[in-house]
Structure 1
Amino acid sequence: MQSTPPAGAPRHFTREKKVYFHHCDPAGVVFFAQYLVFLNEIVQEWFEAGLTVDYPALLLERRIGMPTAHVECDFLAPSTLGDTLRFTLSVERTGKSSFHLLLVGTGPDPTDVRARIKAVLVCTSLDSHRAVPLPDDVRTALQDWPATKLSI
């Protein structure tokens, strides 16, 4: 699904999500907190398909978590029941034990931005609940995702 860009070129991970009844408030509009659920789903999909890191094994066997430590959301237009949203994830920055992501959700028209989410994920030990350096395989995989800014 993802094509490989030239070395050093920005990369984006894209997924589509259909808006179902359970995503909506009584007005039929996506409840804002559901965007954080979308973020979490897409991060796991990105780990597995984009970074080719076994996400369940990372947590369950290696006891490494990637919780969201900081999030900023801008909700720019409503999404409603039946819409198909296109989410595009990019890496803004990678540190020793954390990385910054940008997730942009649009409607069918890519200029119809519905939500913009900036998130900081921190690598933690699930035993000590303290930050730890990114594992070598994750750090190596992240090198193929140069930091970028989406021009949306």
Structure 2
Amino acid sequence: MVRPADAAAPLSPFVHLRRISWAETDAARIAYTPRFLDFAVEAIEAWWRDRVGTDWYEMTVDRGIGTPFVHVALDFRSPVTPRDTLATTVLLVRLGGSSLRFAVAGRVGERLVYEGTLVCAFVDAAALRPVRAPEEFRAALEREVALAALGARG
């Protein structure tokens, strides 16, 4: 269920923590490159639950609204191993009529590991046609865009 927008909105960016596992590594003993998209998407899904109060399963099954990704760009800066805890910051940098643009940055401590941009679109889950961002989410989404803009200026 979507939680109501409240005045006590978070004042800091959302950060998702996860430990890198042995199963996520390759022959070079570092995280396998395609896993970074999983790390980013996992962090964005956690952002939905924390900041909007719903998740993709609930939106798709209960509301008939999907949010497929339509664009992804990732840059790799530094390898990670199973010794590392990855902290991925998620910012909603743009709210369009039917789209959302996220900026993600993964760090281990102060070391930048990856960064990227992901865009998803609100769609009717059955027809896969774009729909406007639902009004019930707009206040939370607008608050997150404002938070990202504050960070860009500061």
Note the C-alpha offset of 1:82.
2.2
What's the secondary structure of 2:63's corresponding residue? coil
Note the C-alpha offset of 1:39.
1.6
TM-score (ref. length: structure 2): 0.85
- How many residues are aligned here? 143
TM-score (ref. length: structure 1): 0.86
> Any idea what the Cα deviations from partners look like across 1:14-69, whole Å, max 9, x if unmatched?
01110001211121111111111112211111111111124322111111111111
Distance 1:119 1:79 in 2: 21
Note the C-alpha offset of 1:114.
0.5
Query: In the alignment, what sits opposite 1:8?
Result: none
Task: Tell me whether 1:4 sits opposite 2:4 in the alignment.
Answer: no
Distance 1:103 1:129 in 2: 26
Mapping of residues 1-152 of structure 1, within 5 Å: 4-5=10-11, 11-108=12-109, 110=110, 112-145=111-144, 146=146, 147-148=148-149
The structure carrying a bigger helix percent of its residues is 2
Q: Is the 8 A contact 1:125 1:131 kept in 2?
A: yes
| CA RMSD, Structure 1 to Structure 2 (Å) | 1.9
Distance 1:66 1:54 in 2: 10
Unpaired segments ≥5 residues, structure 2? 1-7
After superposing on structure 2, the runs of 4+ consecutive aligned residues of structure 1 that deviate more than 6 Å are: none
> Any idea what the Cα deviations from partners look like across 1:66-93, whole Å, max 9, x if unmatched?
1111011100111112211111011111
Identity rate, percent: 24
Distance 1:31 1:138 in 2: 35
